Amino acid sequence: MKKIIFLYWEVCPYCTRAKKVMKELIAENPSYGEVKIEKIETRFKRKKAAAYPSTYVPCIYIENEKIYEAHPGETYEECRNGIQKAFESAMM
C-alpha cells in the first residue's frame, strides 16, 4: 500500500471539502482508512511542499505522481472522483 501526500491550506474551502470527502469515502469503504495520509499545509511547510509541484490545492500525490489537483469552480463530484482515484491508486 502506498502513502497519499495531501497538499492543502487550512483556510481553503476546496480543501475543507476534500477533507470531508475523504472522511465520507473512508466511512463508505473502511479499507481506505488503512491508507496512510501525510498532510502538508503548504503555507507553513513550503520546503516540503516544493517537492510536490502544484498550482492549486488540494492536491494529492502518490509517490512522485500527481493523482488529483483541484481547480477553480470544481464540483463536489469532480473532487470526490479525484480523491477516490487517489485512494484506489494508493491501494494498488
Per-residue pLDDT tens over the stretch 2-50:
999 999 999 999 999 999 999 999 999 999 999 999 999 999 999 999 9
Amino acid in the structure at residue 81: N
Residue 4 to residue 67: CA distance in whole angstroms: 9
Checking if the pLDDT of 92 tops 90, the result is: no
pTM score of the predicted model: 0.93
Averaged pLDDT for residues 68-90: 97
DSSP 51: T
Residue that is written with C-alpha cell 470527502 in the block:
21
